[in-house]
A = this chain, B = another copy of it.
């Protein structure tokens, strides 16, 4: 019995080793895989066969083996079968994406909705609809969803969302409130700022050392050091939004005073610019935008008809495309779009609001730089569309405060993912786990229905 368990766990580990190596080195021959992993050619061939059968690996032509010179059939990672679902609940939107094993984004939905005026159950019911829709689309394309991760705007420890002050949620076991969709595994829950940093690592600029700042209604951050996320002792690190900028400043929803969010959060920014914060679009139970009607917006600007995912062909023939999402300026949600328009017009109060927010962000990032020593600082979320106006004041404040002691201020760059970073990171986390331990998913992937 012990022997059998050992054998199984060793097989699982070796299968993960082989698939990880295919990802890193592919296209690669079975002989080269045997040499790199130290496994026998027989073992590698059997495992590659299983992975091909599960649609995780595919043969991609002939390759001459480097050391021996003999030609062999090369294999690469395949995105045809296994995929992951990334989800996000943020203060003013819900979103979902489907990412395949090659980290190609296959589907991406964003639904603008004010979750502050809805109860957790109502918000989760909307999310559930989004899940159904995404899973259905994915299945139509012959994809098997191996798992899902949900990004939430607050610190999470062991599945428990401690507090999302901007949503007014406290101690919610979000994952338990979501009913897994027919055969879908349970939803894992993680802090959105952490997932956004991982999204930036896997889908964005791909530096190994950076602090990713997620500017939303709240402000979070995720630190990546040496290609790994820094989580702190209990996974609660990176709450940049509640770094104290001015100790006697305005009261914050978190119970403290003078937190960064009170100066550079989306609401504070819009208010300072003389713009209304995005009004709740709906009363909780009345005219909530129906997902199947018109509440759905698509983040690349396609018509919000409630069914068109990113990359869809105009005639609707290919609902899910394998094409990667084109990089480009992220779309500013709600009131931020109006703020950007005013900034482009050189509107005084809008420029002044950005200067003030940038100065506060620069002060908080000065403290963060002293404590965390990040390589680069990547401004994401709403700070991405605002980057041309906010990055100067941030850099000025940091230069003034840091130069004498550190010589160089960290480089400040813009995220190309904007508000999509967390949802993509959520899906990417599932994919990385599948690649590390593909054995758990072989059976399900083998029996997937063919694309409709």
Could you tell me which residues of chain A, from 328 to 387, have a CB within 8 Å of some CB in chain B? 363-364, 366-368, 370-375
Within 8 Å of chain B (Cβ to Cβ): is A230? yes
Contact at B243–A246, with CB atoms within 8 Å? no
Contact at B371–A244, with CB atoms within 8 Å? no
Within 8 Å of chain B (Cβ to Cβ): is A6? no
Which of B243, B400, B403, B406 is the one whose CB lies under 8 Å from A370? B243
Q: A225 vs B155: C-alpha distance in the bound complex, in angstroms?
A: 18
Which of B155, B163, B234, B406 is the one whose CB lies under 8 Å from A404? B163
Within 8 Å of chain B (Cβ to Cβ): is A326? no
Which of B165, B235, B244, B402 is the one whose CB lies under 8 Å from A367? B244
Contact at B243–A367, with CB atoms within 8 Å? yes
Which of B162, B230, B247 is the one whose CB lies under 8 Å from A246? B247
Which of B165, B368, B373 is the one whose CB lies under 8 Å from A405? B165
Contact at B244–A400, with CB atoms within 8 Å? no
Q: How many Å from the CB of A315 to the closest CB on chain B?
A: 48
Q: How many Å from the CB of A199 to the closest CB on chain B?
A: 19
Q: How many Å from the CB of A338 to the closest CB on chain B?
A: 29
Contact at A234–B375, with CB atoms within 8 Å? yes
Contacts of A165 in B (CB 8 A): 404-405
Could you tell me which residues of chain A, from 233 to 249, have a CB within 8 Å of some CB in chain B? 233-240, 242-247
Within 8 Å of chain B (Cβ to Cβ): is A209? yes
Contact at A373–B246, with CB atoms within 8 Å? no
Among A232, A237, A254, A402, chain B packs the most CB atoms within 10 A around the CB of A232
How many copies of this chain does the complex contain? 2
Q: How many Å from the CB of A379 to the closest CB on chain B?
A: 17
Q: A374 vs B233: C-alpha distance in the bound complex, in angstroms?
A: 5
Contact at B236–A373, with CB atoms within 8 Å? yes
Among A163, A242, A366, chain B packs the most CB atoms within 10 A around the CB of A242
For chain A, the count of residues having a C-beta within 8 Å of the partner chain is 47
Which of B237, B240, B406 is the one whose CB lies under 8 Å from A373? B237
Q: How many Å from the CB of A193 to the closest CB on chain B?
A: 11
Contact at A368–B371, with CB atoms within 8 Å? yes
Q: A244 vs B363: C-alpha distance in the bound complex, in angstroms?
A: 7
Q: How many Å from the CB of A371 to the closest CB on chain B?
A: 5
User: Nearest B residue to A237 by beta-carbon distance?
Assistant: B373
Within 8 Å of chain B (Cβ to Cβ): is A183? no
Given the known inter-chain contacts A240-B371, A368-B371, A406-B162, please indicate yes or no for A401 contacting B256, CB distance below 8 A: yes
Q: How many Å from the CB of A97 to the closest CB on chain B?
A: 28
Contact at B230–A230, with CB atoms within 8 Å? yes
Within 8 Å of chain B (Cβ to Cβ): is A46? no
User: Nearest B residue to A230 by beta-carbon distance?
Assistant: B230
New contact pairs (6) apart from A163-B405, A236-B406, A237-B371, CB-CB < 8 Å:
A165-B405, A225-B232, A225-B233, A230-B230, A242-B370, A255-B402
29 A-B residue pairs with Cβ-Cβ distance under 8 Å, sorted by A, are A162-B406, A162-B407, A163-B405, A221-B371, A225-B232, A232-B374, A233-B373, A233-B374, A234-B373, A236-B373, A237-B372, A238-B370, A238-B373, A239-B371, A239-B405, A240-B370, A242-B370, A242-B405, A244-B363, A245-B247, A247-B363, A254-B401, A255-B400, A255-B403, A256-B366, A256-B402, A257-B401, A367-B367, A371-B372
